[in-house]
Amino acid sequence: MSTTSTSSSVSEDPLIRFAPVLAAVSHSSLTALAQRIRRQLEQSQKSSSNQTDHQENEADILHYGCTVLPTAIYGSYNVLKIIEFSDGLRWIVRILSTGLKGQYTAESSTSLKSDALTMRFIKANTTMPVPEIYDFSATTENDVGAPYILMSFLDGVPVYEVWFDESGEVPKEIRREQILDTIAEAMSQLKKFHFDQIGSLQFDTNLNPTRIGKCNLVDEYGVLDNLNNETDEGPKFLQIGPFSSSYDYFGALFDTQRLPKDSFTIGIHKLLRMMIQCIPPSVPSKESADVHPLLETFVLAHPDAGSQNFLVSKDGVLTGIIDWDGVHTEPHCIGYQRYPSWITRDWDPAMYGYLQSGCQPKDSPEALEGYRQRYSKIMQLFVPEYIDYISKSHIFEALQIALSSPVCRDNIVVKFFCQLFPKEDQEEAEHPMYLYETAVGIAEDRLDESAKARIIDAIVHFFKL
């Protein structure tokens, strides 16, 4: 997840950020790569066919011409080029904005390799509509001149293009239900994979996960610094982990934050730390938590379950799940079972903006809760043992955002506190808990132990699965 740029001078023109790497990567190198890989794939397919006599030579393999389409697709950190063959087949090559000598780091190389192989692993072991990875290079020392991932082109449009569309042949609500239902079915297929640590998957030559590496995360403070300084130094990343417990993972996210200066924000910061202390263990069920309270397991999850990363048909059937950059294992509470992010926006107030002028259309909190109930019901059909994780995943997703994003943190903690101690309940309470007084009291060490205990008890109850 990343914050949205609000500065007109930073990243508004993607050509500025991607100009150096685009200048280094020629279209001829991309077409040569695509033709070479396609010949290899067809040769391999013919060689493994029962109808071949294994005497055929390269002249028997069809040679397709191809071109790089002029329109590129720009993401926050990657540029996608579409390659079209003469028979109409399309592939995509993904190139990192910092994929040049002097900028490209060993950590980025490890992350790209893990991303590509994790997608191959998911493709090989599920029917999820993820891109086919045909080739990748995690080094600048290649014929293209930059690290790349070459993959299949998936049909469909991003969910955000059709979610609010009133003009389609399929009624909007039916289309939305179809979107949520088919995403839940697809994501539930990740239930078969369990790991003993949180981090990125590392594979052997047979595509077997052999160990867990570090998590590669966007440095949100680096993003904010670029905005504040009106500069664009390119993406910055943090490497943390691996971790053997949910507490250690969330704690490491907390430790990436910069310390605030005023008393209220310091109190917000300390409230966030108290919440981490109450994180439930990542276990498949309450029974296993009772029997093996320290044996946590972790699962795969999409690293950014936003509406831009799920492709659907016009009637709402899922056709693709894209942009797996930085994919790593997660605790169950924010794993594959969690809600898609566009139906949890009301739990991230800084990014919600319901009924605010100048904002993009947003669903009401009541509508979003209805969609969460729908998604939870469908997901339960496929993974009934994880009902509690599903139904509270929006809470833990918000906590993860608060720990990662300085832009979103304070508003999320305020929302949590208002859930723990509703303002209307405090007016008649013997010992009322008001946010400002509580936060400042924590910051200045003036809050008594009984009040701290009340907060901890309320958080435990709020997080309880």
Q: What is the dihedral of CA 256, 236, 397, 118, to 10 degrees?
A: -120
- Which residues of the chain, if any, have pLDDT below 50? 1-11, 52, 54-56
Domain 14-153 matches domain 159-198+243-463 at the CATH topology level: no
Angle at the Cα of 155 from the Cα atoms of 153 and 161, rounded to 5 degrees? 120
Give the per-residue pLDDT at 8. Answer: 35
Give the per-residue pLDDT at 285. Answer: 59
The domain locations on the chain are 14-153, 159-198+243-463
Exposure on the CB side of residue 277, measured as CA atoms within 13 A: 12
The partner residues of 243 in beta bridges, in order of sequence, read 198
**CA–CA separation, 305 vs 343, rounded Å?**
10
Give the per-residue pLDDT at 58. Answer: 52
**CA–CA separation, 275 vs 459, rounded Å?**
6
**CA–CA separation, 297 vs 343, rounded Å?**
26
CATH number (3.30.200.20, 3.40.50.620, 3.40.50.720, 3.40.50.300) of 14-153 reads 3.30.200.20
Q: Hey, what amino acid is at 412?
A: I
**CA–CA separation, 329 vs 282, rounded Å?**
12
Q: Which long-range contacts (CB under 8 A, 24 or more apart) does 347-353 make?
A: 347/394, 347/395, 347/397, 347/398, 347/412, 347/415, 348/398, 348/401, 348/408, 348/411, 348/412, 349/408, 349/411, 349/412, 349/414, 349/415, 350/407, 350/408, 350/411, 350/412, 351/4, 351/408
* Architecture in CATH for domain 159-198+243-463: Alpha-Beta Complex (3.90)
The model's pTM: 0.92
Where do the DSSP E strands lie in 408-460? Answer: none
Q: Hey, what amino acid is at 208?
A: N
- Average pLDDT value for the chain: 91
Encoded tokens for 209: 């996960």
